[in-house]
Structure 1
Amino acid sequence: MSEQALKFTAIRLTQPIGELFVGKISSDKLASLAKADIRRITSRELEKMSGIQRGLSSARVTDIARYIETVDASFPNAFILNLNSEFLNDAPREIGNDCEDGTGIYCFDVSANEKAFSIIDGQHRLSGFQKAEVETFDLIVAFFIDLPIEDQAYLFSTINVTQQKVNKSLVYDLFDVSETRSPQRTAHLITKALNTDEDSPLYRRIKLLGIAPKFGDEVLYKAPLSQGAVASRIAELISADPMSDRDSIRRGKEIAVDAADVERGLIFRKFFAEEKDWAILRIMKNYFRAVADAFPDLWEKQDNPLSKTIGYGALMRLLVDAFGEGARRGDLSFDFFSELMTRVRRNSAMDQDAPLTFESFAAAGSGESKLYGKLKEWSELA
């Protein structure tokens, strides 16, 4: 083996596409051995395309790097690679074949060259390791040897096109089993309380897990809001960086609170830092009870924009403005919010451009922003 080489072992597997190997390589070594084949134009005249990978997203790389730097970061899924046999110093040598299914363990001796491996899937993760300030990470790699470019492209497209985005409601609901305090867990628990507390104005108006609740085939109740939509808006008012806050808590650090948090829209941050989640829940109940009392007929119509996601989003944006006014007064009671919503009702009734039914606001796209703009105008908080 040459001085500039990497020696490692891997298990051989056979699948319909052919033979592949699974092993481990440290993050620093893999970064020096692998390069993404970015798809690009290689002929100006014919606009001939080369490569299979999409261009790197710097924002995504930064997010991954920040995750890698957290105290409990993990990448249990494999980087999928193609090994160019030109950079094998010797043929893979079998060093073990003790399993009943005949699977053997092979030793690889690969020259340290960035062209040794091409990345089929995992370029953003690997770039994240290059950007992150962490010690070496052991990574799982699954690699083929001299896999034709056609098959590499097919694998890449299949992996990335057929992946289904995880339901945001499920993501938040999984924080129910977490023991670590975090903005996401607090947002989930408050959302759950808003939906299950009988004195809540949002009682049974939230689809937990994002689907209509059923007992067998029976739909228990219809709800206009999803758990993910409600919880994410609450989390946004707690933290601009929930992952970092969770990591700080895991490391035993205090949550940083700044005097400008309210101006930045983080109106619930101080309560979260002081572990006063009950205060966040109380404010949410006071606020939405005032909405329900000001517009009782529309609030009962779950197909009305005020009751749907567009209305919830616009109302949560108005809450940020209202909180600032209430905090200056030292009053975040139901009476304060009721006074606010009384103004909204009175002024909206006199607005010919946006009748009281709220039906003129689109349920998607710019509808939320337009509704928020009107609510702020009618509230006289502008």
Structure 2
Amino acid sequence: MIKLNLLEVNQPIGTFYIGVLNADVIERITDVNRRTEGRGPQRELSKPKVKEIKEYCSDPDAAFPTPIIISLYDSEKYNFENNELTIYGDEVIGEIIDGQHRAKGISEAYNTDAFDLPVVFMFNLTEEEKAYVFSIINSKQTRVSMSLIYDLFSISKSRSPQKTCHEITRLLNTDKDSPFYRRLKMLGKKEGELSSLSQGSFIRYLIPLISNHPDKDARELKTNPNKKLNDNEDKPFRYYFINNQDENIYLILVNLFNAVKETFPEEWESPNKYILSKTTGYGAVLRAFPEIYKLGMKRKTLDFDFFLKCFEAFKAELNAQRKELTSEYFPSNEQEQKKLSNIIIQAIQKRKI
């Protein structure tokens, strides 16, 4: 038997109640009714999202402050009187309206018992009211920009791929010798006429060169700052990251994009006309970078001159194909970005740099 003292909340929609339950108990006493099953308002369960939450639970600072919303059935399996809810057993007494992924992910974690969760209880909801509550919650939330999220990693004292990428991005934007000097929209804010890449977009393509699982790396390093992460030869910047050599990542990026800038001066300085210094061009270069990096390691050089030869070959290939780095030839989407990346790789291989 569980007894909960609940806080009463009155809002235009009606009265509901707030309490606290352990995640393990929530899993036992609730249903989830999904649209795909022809019943309730919930979307289909996303296994990747559940897995992500399960893994996040191992973070020593894991927190879930947002309440799980439960619509209680009209049932004799519980009693509610004088703002006290008494649950008689482990039988189902309600359904989750919002928070199914959190509830499921935490219930599958090894430390489920460590999580007491805030819960909102609603009584006597019709199916229409359940659907309304679900739709309002999930349509009125404002998504936080990735630029802000990455920027907040700078506050963290522990090392992580996100923090490294943020610090490199910030330095590239403030270093006068950087090809990206004052060209990145930090926190999404445009600083000048040439600002053509957001901080979030910049890191989005940089971080996969360090890690397949940046959140996992961050958790492991927070738990044990001296932990030696496994290397991955397919991630060209991972070795430098796990060996605390972030300055090498920075210098390689400066050499890489200074070579791009030198080879395509007009395209680099005209983001309103060309896509090279925008997400499509930048993303294509970093998509191609693992292959460029492998070649550089064979040549035992990652200096400016090496990268310059690579992009001169790329420019020659573009000329041969009679293509320009404009949205007419490379529209802004992942498929075109990948196509452009492949042209870079093929040009370097074709001309045997």
Taking structure 2 as the reference length, what is the TM-score of the superposition? 0.93
1:349, CA displacement in angstroms? Answer: 2.1
Per the TM alignment, residue 355 of structure 1 is displaced from its structure 2 partner at its CA by 4.2
Q: Which runs of 5+ in 1 are unaligned?
A: 42-48, 94-105, 214-219
Instruction: Work out which of the residue numbers 130, 134, 159 in structure 1 matches 2:137.
Output: 159
Whether the 8 Å contact between 1:306 and 1:358 is mirrored in structure 2 is: no
Residue number among 47, 59, 71 corresponding to 1:82 in the alignment? 71
Of 323, 326, 330, which aligns to 1:361? 330
Q: What is the one-letter code of the residue matched to 1:129? A: I
The residue aligned with 2:185 is 207
The more displaced of 115-124 and 340-349 is: 340-349
Would the aligned equivalents of 2:45 and 2:101 in 1 still touch at CA under 8 Å? yes
* Amino acid corresponding to residue 123 of structure 2 in structure 1: I
1:287-302 counterparts in 2 under 5 A? 287-302=256-271
Residue in 2 aligned with 1:276? 245
Corresponding residue of 1:46: none
Which letter does structure 2 place at the counterpart of 1:72?
A: D
More displaced stretch, 157-166 vs 304-313: 157-166
Corresponding residue number in structure 2 for 1:109: 86
Deviations 1:193-228, CA, capped at 9 Å, x for gaps? 111111001111111112313xxxxxx444111110
Match of 1:212, SS?
Answer: coil
Is the counterpart of residue 248 in structure 1 residue 217 in structure 2? no
**Structure 2 unaligned regions, length at least 5:** none
Map of 1:1-382 to 2, 5 A cutoff? 5-40=1-36, 49-93=38-82, 106-136=83-113, 137-213=115-191, 220-252=192-224, 253-258=226-231, 261-262=232-233, 264=234, 266-303=235-272, 304-352=274-322, 354-355=323-324, 359-380=328-349
Q: Aligned pair count?
A: 348
Mapped to 2, the partners of 1:133 and 1:67 lie a distance apart of 11
The 8 Å contact of residues 305 and 359 in structure 1, kept in 2 or not, is answered as no
Asked whether the 8 Å contact 2:106–2:112 carries over to 1, the reply is: no
> Over alpha carbons, which structure has the higher Rg?
1
TM-fit CA distance, 1:165: 2.1
Q: Quote the Cα distance in structure 1 between the aligned partners of 2:86 and 2:137.
A: 28
Question: Structure 1: which 4+ aligned runs deviate by more than 3 Å?
Answer: 87-91, 355-359
Secondary structure, in 3 states, of the residue corresponding to 2:4? strand
| Letter of the 2:23 counterpart | S
Q: Using a 3 Å threshold, how does the CA distance of structure 1 residues 322 and 114 change in structure 2: closer, same or farther?
A: farther
Greater shift in the superposed pair: 320-329 or 272-281: 320-329
- What is the letter of the counterpart of residue 368 of structure 1? Q
Tell me how large the CA RMSD over aligned residues is: 1.8
CA deviations on 1:32-74 (whole Å, 9 max, x unpaired) are 0111111245xxxxxxx42111111111111111111222110
For 2:193 and 2:163, locate their aligned partners in 1 and report how far apart those are by CA, in whole Å: 25
Partner SS, residue 51 of structure 2: helix
**Deviating more after overlay: 275-284 vs 60-69:** 60-69
Structure 1 Cα separation of the partners of residues 15 and 321 of structure 2: 70
Match of 1:287, SS state, is helix
Instruction: State the AA in 1 paired with 2:221.
Output: I
Cα pair distance change 1:357/1:118, threshold 3 Å: closer
Equivalent position SS for 2:79:
coil
Alpha-carbon displacement from aligned partner over 1:270-314 (angstroms, at most 9, x marks no partner): 111111111100000000001111111111111201121100000
SS of alignment partner, residue 75 of structure 2: helix
**Aligned-pair CA distance for 1:170:** 1.2
Q: Is the 8 A contact 2:196 2:278 kept in 1?
A: yes
1:337-378 CA-partner distances (Å, limit 9, x unpaired): 1121222223322223x2476741112242101111111122
Paired residue secondary structure (1:50): coil
1:226-271 CA distances to partner (integer Å, 9 max, x unpaired)?
A: 110101211111111111111111111424233xx22x2x111111
Could you tell me whether the CA contact under 8 Å between 2:77 and 2:89 is conserved in 1?
no
* CA shift for structure 1 position 16: 1.4
Tell me, in whole angstroms, the C-alpha distance in 2 between the residues paired with 1:284 and 1:144. 54
Q: Relative to 1, partners in 2 of residues 1:16 and 1:358: Cα closer, same or farther, differing over 3 Å? A: closer
The residue type paired with residue 84 of structure 1 is Y
Q: Secondary structure at the match of 2:280?
A: helix
Tell me if structure 1 keeps the 8 A contact 2:292–2:345.
no
DSSP-derived class of the 1:86 partner: coil
**Residue 206 of structure 2: SS of its match in structure 1?**
helix
Tell me if the contact between 2:280 and 2:333 (Cα under 8 Å) persists in the aligned partners: yes
Cα distance between partner residues in 2 of 1:357 and 1:142: 52
Relative to structure 1, the CA distance from residue 85 to residue 320 in structure 2 (aligned partners, 3 Å threshold; closer, same or farther) is same
